Chain A
Amino acid sequence: MIRNFLIYLAVLFAGILFFASMVLFVIPAFQESTVVLIGLSSSSSESGVDGTDKESIEADIKKLQKKLDSFTPTNAYMIVNTSDNHFFLYKGKQLIRDGICSTGKNEKLVSEDRKYEHIFHTPFGVRKVLRKATNPVWTKPDWAFIEEGLPIPSARHPSRVETGTLGKYKLEIGDGFMIHGTIYKRRMGMSVTHGCVRLLDEDLEAVYKTMEVGSKVYIF
């Protein structure tokens, strides 16, 4: 009796195993092969599409490729990869410099007591260099005080002004975001900023000298 029961169990188990392997591996693999589509006729012809020929299509391709290439700026532009914290400086299609950077830490600072919140994130998309400056002075916004657990001073209070923090140069890219230097060099290559793009001194100098006002910055 027990022997028979074991036989049934073994056969049932083998059946389930067989079925599972078919459903899991064999049938999906079969579905992905072209064999299952045999007999479904192709509607392609040998007589051309609307009278087009090879030469005219190739001419169209050249024209379209030229149009696509024209989207790439001919002057300097910069690409910032916030996921890898890496920047690339291009002139036309030529890469002229790349290196590590630091970008937004993707944090939302919330203060329930002060009814304040601010997101520290480097915005994705394309921006332009709006202004350039040497030896920039940082006017600390409210979040800088909230983050340090300090009371918020008045708008023109001297404690808002800080020199040296942004390095030797800054390039403003709009909405308060900048490309600048840093004194926190140990944390370069990490997502630690409040949204700005931090560069090392030599990279910042190269970027400052290469990028003009109006140059594009692509951020992703």
Chain B
Amino acid sequence: MKKNSEEGFDSLFVEEKRGSVKYIVVIIILSVLALTSVYTFLSVSSVRGRMKLAQDQSQGSPQINSSLLPQLKEKAWIESRIKMAANDSIGLSIDLEQRRIQLELKGVVILSSKIRDFSISGFFRKMDGNVYFNTFGTPLTIQQFTSSIEKNPLRIVEAPKDTIAAQLAADAAAKKDSIADENVFWTVKLDRDFDLDIQGIDSIAEAQNKYKLGKGFEFERNLKNVANSFQHILRFTKPSYTPEILISIPENEAKAILRALPRKALVTIRI
């Protein structure tokens, strides 16, 4: 009898312990869910806030007839390219409708490349006519470049002391001519507060492999976003939201465009 009551007491203790384990597990799960919900709410409200701001900024412009939107977009696209042609430096025109990205100089297309793949934020797909023309009606200006390769590389070479050193330098330079296998991606911040990301890929499969290996553009960008996101979570502030356009084009053309564009180049976009 005594023995039985001792066993009963022990089993009660074990049950109590199990109960506390359950509580802690439930608390952890609830905390994670609460944190995720708060973060999701803040993330969604930042997107909505961005759209509301864009709509407020476009208020006062004449109402756009939605049935004429394709024609008005075409007109805005050409007008914007003409404005870009007035500039003396190289500009970039991106036509997502025709899947083409072009370098233009004084109105002349100097490089035209087929876009292999692209993705745009829902923000752009949900734009109404007024917000569209407010955003893309005139050329945008690049504010900042970030790239995986040097934008304008310039090697500094010390002049040789004599003809023998000159010959050695020439031989060494000849050996460096092999083309490096570079992973090309770059992003620019545009003056109407959105990002344009260009990724050099020679096939869609290559882009996916790069992503898996952690070399691709999206992987690096997402990783950076995590650190940024955690800071916002800790402060319970809205994470910043920047709509973006991601374009994949052949690697050599991604490189050529990066090198050709001036730091404050104009960009014209049609979606």
Interface assignment of A52: CB less than 8 Å from any CB of chain B = yes
The reply to whether B68 and A52 contact each other, CB–CB distance below 8 Å, is yes
A23/B32 in contact, CB under 8 A: no
Q: Are B64 and A44 in contact (CB under 8 A)?
A: yes
Query: CB-CB < 8 A to B125: which residues of A?
Result: 34
| Residues in A neighbouring B174, C-beta threshold 8 A | 187
A121 touches B154 (CB 8 A): yes
With CB as the reference atom, state the residue of chain A lying closest to B103.
Answer: A220
Contact of B32 with A19 in the complex, beta carbons under 8 Å: yes
Contact between A149 and B161, CB atoms less than 8 A apart: yes
Main secondary structure of the interface of B (DSSP, over half): helix
Residues of A within 8 A of B24 (CB): 8, 11
Give the residues from 22 to 75 in chain A that come closer than 8 angstroms, CB to CB, to chain B. 22-25, 27-28, 30-37, 40, 42-50, 52-54, 57-58, 60-61, 64-65, 67-68, 70-73
The stretch of A79-87, A154-162, A168-176, A198-206 that contacts the partner chain: A79-87
Q: Is B3 an interface residue (CB 8 A)?
A: no
Cα–Cα distance between A218 and B110 once the two chains are bound (Å) = 7
**How far does the Cβ of A197 sit from chain B's closest Cβ, in whole Å?**
14
Per the bound structure, the CA–CA distance linking A55 and B68 in Å amounts to: 10
Is there a chain A Cβ closer than 8 Å to B192's Cβ? no
The answer to whether the Cβ of A129 comes within 8 Å of any Cβ in the partner chain is no
Given contacts A37-B123, A64-B82, contact A49 B40 (CB under 8 A): no
Contact code string B133-156 (vs A, CB < 8 Å = 1, else 0): 000000000000000000011111
Q: Is the CB of B256 within 8 A of A149?
A: no
Check B40–A44 contact: CB distance below 8 A: no
Q: Are B259 and A83 in contact (CB under 8 A)?
A: yes
Q: How far, in angstroms, from A54 to B159 measured CA to CA in the complex?
A: 66
> B161 to A57, Cβ gap below 8 A?
no
List 9 other contacts, CB 8 Å, given A34-B125, A220-B105, A220-B256. Answer: A7-B25, A20-B226, A23-B226, A32-B123, A42-B129, A43-B130, A126-B106, A149-B165, A149-B166
**Which residues of B are in contact with A by a Cβ distance under 8 Å?**
17, 21, 24-25, 28-29, 31-32, 35-36, 39-40, 43-44, 46-48, 51-52, 55, 58-59, 62-69, 71-72, 74-75, 78-79, 81-82, 85, 88-90, 103, 105-111, 119, 121-123, 125-126, 128-130, 152-166, 173-174, 177, 222, 225-226, 229-230, 241, 252, 255-256, 259-260
